Every structure is written in structure tokens, then in C-alpha cells.
Amino acid sequence: MKLFFPREIPRRAAAVVVALALIASVVAGREEVSSDPQAAPEPAPVMNGAAAQAGLPDLDLEKLNRSVKNNKITDLFASKAAAPIPAPVAVAITLPPPPPPPAPTAPPLPFRYFGKWIDGDRTVVFLWNNSEGHSVAAGDTVEGAYRVEAITDSSVDFIYLPLGSKQTLPISKPE
């Protein structure tokens, strides 16, 4: 016998469907529908207050009272929290003090030696800083931060005014 399905159904799937249909028919067959109209359950009659109390069993009102333990009424809604957690203990950790910051130092000299002019006992040095030229003698202040202390044949001594530190610019001798 050939079945007329638009597509092929696997044999296992078909066997499962048939087994489920058989189980459903067995379960459905056990329920019997009575054709006897008197077998239908009757609704409970509506009673007035006195008749309704007569049909009910007596209630034990003592079961509704709260239980008393050690002369205390137990509270059903009281929290059952555990003992409070102790506060954390602060532990003092002593760290060694941080090392002091290094002493401030003067920045490197921004000048380059360009030349020197001697006029009697006065010596003037020509210095170059980026795109600016300066002509200075001993005691002059350059760019507001450097004072020329001394000019010798081999060096120019400066004082960096913000820190009061001494710096030296070497001079090359002409050959």
C-alpha cells in the first residue's frame, strides 16, 4: 500500500505518531460517559444561615490562638536573622615616609658662545639663544633669569637667579 504524502516521512517518526495515537485511544476509551440523566451530580442546595451552620462540622477555635512560649507570644513575622556581624577591625599599617623630593636644579644653559670683544679692561661676550643674540658684560642680567658673574679667557660664569646656582659656559680659545 502506498501512502499519498507530499514528502517522505521517516519510519521512526511514523512509528512514534502511531504509538501516541494508540495510547490516546486507550486512555480516551476508559472514560465512560453516562447516558443516565439521573447519574449527573446535583448542585448543592442554597441554605439560609441556620441551615448552613448545621451542615458544617464544628471548628476548634483553640487552634486559631497563637502559641505562647515562656510567657511570650511568638511572632510569625519576626526576622530570624543570625547574630550581627562584628565590625571589621582596623589594622594600622605604618609605611616608611616617602623619600624627600630631589632638590631643584637649574636647567641647562640655553646660550652658545658666539664671540668676545675686549675694550681695555672691559670684556663683552656675544651669546646666541635660538634666534636672539645678546651682548653681555660682567654684572649684566640676561633674559631675566641669568646674571653674568665673571668672564675669563676659558669660560663665562652665570648665576641662575631663581635658585641661586652657579653655571659655567666654556669658551673655546681662538687658534
| Number of domains present in the structure of the chain | 1
51 pLDDT more than 70: no
Q: 136 in a domain, yes or no?
A: yes
Helix (H, G, I), strand (E, B) or coil at 121: coil
Q: 100 in a domain, yes or no?
A: no
Cell of 26: 486507550
User: What's the half-sphere exposure (Cβ side, CA atoms, 13 Å) at 148?
Assistant: 22
DSSP per residue, 49-118: HHHHHHHSPPP-GGGGSPPEETTEEPPTTS----SPPPPPPP---PPPPPPPPPPP-PPPP--EEEEEEE
Mean pLDDT of all residues in 46-69: 67
pLDDT digits (tens, 9 = 90+) for 97-110: 999 999 899 999 99
Helical (H) or strand (E) element with 124:
strand 122-129
Higher-pLDDT residue of 80, 138: 138
pLDDT digits (tens, 9 = 90+) for 111-159: 999 899 988 888 999 999 888 999 999 999 999 999 999 999 899 999 9
Largest CA distance in the chain: 149
Q: What is the CATH number of the domain that holds 162?
A: 2.30.30
- Give the pLDDT score at 87: 86
Report the predicted TM-score, pTM, of the whole model to 2 decimal places.
Answer: 0.43
> Rounded to the nearest 5°, which phi and psi values hold at 26?
-70, -45
The rounded distance, in Å, linking the Cα atoms of 90 and 41 is: 76
Q: 59 in a domain, yes or no?
A: no
User: In terms of residue numbers, what domain contains 131?
Assistant: 112-170
